A and B are shown apart, each in its own frame.
Chain A
Amino acid sequence: MVLWSISLIVLYFVAFALYLAIRVAPQAQVLRGEAAPLMVLFDVLSERTLALNSMTATARRAVLDRSTPALDTLRSFVASIGSSPTPLLSDVPRDLRAPLAQAERLTSDIEAGLAELVAQIELGQTAVAQRRLRTLDSLHAEVTQVVFQAERGGFAELAHLEAQLGREVQRAVAAMLAWGALGFALLLVAVSIVRRRVERPLAELQRGLDAVAEGDLNSGVEVRRQDEIGELAAHFNEMTGVLRCRAEEQGRFAAAGQLIAGVAHEVNNPLMAIAALTDSRLEDANLSAELRDDLQQMRRQARRAGKLLSGLLRFVRAGEPLGKSLVLNDVVQSAVDLVSYRFGVDEITLELRLDPSLPLALGSAGRIEQVMVNLLSNGLDALRGTARPRRLTVDTWTGDGKVFAAVTDSGEGIVPMMERRLFMPFATTKGADGTGLGLYISRQILREAGGELRYEPATRGARFVVELAAAPSDAVADGNGSAPRARSGRPESTLRGVQVLVVDDEPAVRQPIARFLGRRGALVREAGDGQEALKLIEALEPAVLLVDLRMPRMDGMELCERMAREWPHLIDRVIILSGDLSQLGDALPVPADRVLAKPVELREIEQRLVAAVSGA
Chain B
Amino acid sequence: MPVGTALLAGCLLLAACRNEAGPVALGVAYQPQNLTLPAVELAIADLAAARQPGEPGIVHVVDSTLVGDAAETEVQRAESLVGTAGVVAVLGHSSSRGALAAAPVYDSAGIPQLTAIATSRRLQLAGPYTFALAPNDSVEGAFIGDFVAGHLGARRAALFCENDEYGRGLCSGVQAELARRDVQVVDRVPFSSASDYATLLEATALRIDPDVVIVAGRQMAVAAYAVAAAKHMPGVPVVAGDAALVLPDLADAAGAAIANIYVTSLWQPDAGNTASRRFIAAFQAKTGRPPGPFDALTYDAMMLLGRAIREAGRDPDEITEWLRDLGDTHPAYQGVTGSIEFGPERQSRLVMTRIMDGTPVAVP
Contacts and interface: CB of A to CB of B under 8 A. Distances in A.
B161 to A, nearest CB: 5
A120 B107 contact: no
B134 interface: no
Contact of B163 (A81, A91, A122): A81
A88 B125 contact: yes
A111 to B, nearest CB: 5
Contact of B206 (A89, A90, A99, A123): A123
A98 interface: yes
Nearest to B194: A109
A101 B104 CA distance: 12
A82 B163 contact: yes
Contacts of A83: 172
Main secondary structure of the interface of B (DSSP, over half): helix
Interface stretch (B11-19, B67-75, B300-308): B67-75
Contacts, number: 114
Contacts of B108: 94
B189 A89 contact: no
B202 A119 contact: yes
Given A81-B190, A94-B104, A101 B75 contact: yes
In this complex, the member of B104, B125, B127 whose beta carbon has the largest number of chain A beta carbons within 10 angstroms is B104
A88 B125 CA distance: 9
A90 B187 CA distance: 32
A113 B192 contact: yes
A519 interface: no
A112 B100 contact: no
Contact of B127 (A79, A90, A92, A111): A90
A122 B167 contact: no
Nearest to A82: B168
Contacts of B196: 116, 119-120
B163 A112 contact: yes
Nearest to A129: B199
Nearest to B191: A112
Interface in B166-181: 167-169, 171-172
B164 A123 contact: no
Nearest to A132: B196
B71 A101 contact: yes
A118 interface: yes
B100 A88 contact: yes
Interface string B88-126: 000000000000110111011000000000000010011
A115 B104 contact: no
A105 B125 contact: no
Q: Among the interface residues A101, A102, A120, which one has the most CB atoms of the partner chain B within 10 A?
A: A101
B324 interface: no
Interface string B186-229: 01111110111001101110110000000000000000000000
A108 B72 contact: no
Contacts of A113: 192, 194-195
A85 B168 contact: yes
B72 A101 contact: yes
Given A85-B168, A101-B70, A118 B103 contact: no
Contacts of A109: 163, 192, 194
Contact of B190 (A85, A92, A99, A112): A112
A104 interface: yes
Given A78-B189, A116-B191, A125 B199 contact: yes
B29 to A, nearest CB: 15
B63 interface: no
B66 to A, nearest CB: 12
A119 B207 CA distance: 10
Interface in B320-355: none
Contacts of A108: 163-164, 190, 192
B76 interface: yes
A115 B194 CA distance: 12
A86 interface: yes
Nearest to B98: A101
A90 B120 CA distance: 15
Contacts of B165: 86
Given A113-B192, A122-B206, A85 B104 contact: no
A102 B203 contact: no
B71 A105 contact: yes
B70 A102 contact: yes
Contact of A89 (B76, B101, B187, B202): B101
Contacts of A111: 163, 190
A108 B103 CA distance: 20
Interface in B136-182: 161, 163-165, 167-169, 171-172
A97 interface: yes
A97 B73 CA distance: 11
A111 B164 CA distance: 11
B363 to A, nearest CB: 27
Contacts of A101: 70-72, 74-75, 101
Contacts of B189: 78, 115, 119
A84 B122 CA distance: 13
Contacts of A104: 71
A611 to B, nearest CB: 118
B130 to A, nearest CB: 9
Nearest to A120: B199
19 contacts: A82-B168, A89-B103, A90-B103, A90-B107, A90-B125, A97-B104, A98-B71, A98-B72, A101-B71, A102-B70, A102-B71, A105-B70, A108-B163, A111-B163, A113-B192, A113-B194, A116-B200, A118-B203, A119-B199
Interface of B: 70-72, 74-76, 100-101, 103-105, 107-108, 122, 125-127, 161, 163-165, 167-169, 171-172, 187-192, 194-196, 199-200, 202-204, 206-207
Given A89-B100, A122-B207, 19 more contacts: A86-B165, A86-B168, A88-B122, A89-B103, A94-B108, A97-B75, A98-B71, A98-B72, A98-B76, A102-B70, A105-B72, A109-B163, A112-B194, A112-B195, A115-B190, A116-B191, A119-B199, A120-B203, A122-B203
* Nearest 10 A/B pairs, CB to CB: A101-B71, A119-B203, A112-B192, A98-B72, A82-B168, A108-B163, A81-B190, A122-B203, A112-B163, A90-B104
